[in-house]
Structure 1
């Protein structure tokens, strides 16, 4: 089962297609708005005289903008369960929770093109009985 999740930005002013998310702050609060290219340019033009006269406060020097994205790489709960079951059945060690190792994800995605990995059980180590330890003789106290 293949699944594609697509994220589309919607302009918060007119409901049309947005090109980016713009983060800005006012009165100690941070806001984010999704805008089309036209509305983003309008916002920047309106704020330009204020930004030009203002001084920078602390914080990130990299603007936080999110361009429209075609897909996300997250997997559904059902898919991760299926990957874990496949991995355990094919000799991969995977925990029941947490991140699935990239090597296992790669093997799962290529499962039709390559033979399954089967680990041979390691032979049990031979148990060798150690000879009993000798006890040292106590030295007689010199008189």
Structure 2
């Protein structure tokens, strides 16, 4: 897999909540998109950080991935019988960049689960990564870094 040596643009989304609650996003708020997970009537509001007034492909990809991954976080937590805090948040950043003379994307997924034991949060993050179709589609195709923040 080729590495990005120069980042040209970054699309970032922040999705809060992982179950039937309403989801809210970051403070930038250039664009709000309401998405739901399959079989879930919950509304997810994604706020995109944008340099321009319209979303980039990287922001749209991050937003769709965020909706899917957030649902997977909720499902994984339920399977592990862990109650997630109301302020659980998923942040996804997708970079467009150059590696030599070719274009690539890479991503960073961060699960914010305040008050959850770090090892439990890591199990949830990795479990969600294992079942999320977007994570499966990118596995081995792009560089992805998975992080957890529990404070």
TM-score by length of 2: 0.20
Structure number with larger C-alpha Rg? 1
Give the TM-score, by structure 1 length: 0.20
Question: RCO (CA 8 Å, sep 6+): is it higher in 1 or 2?
Answer: 2
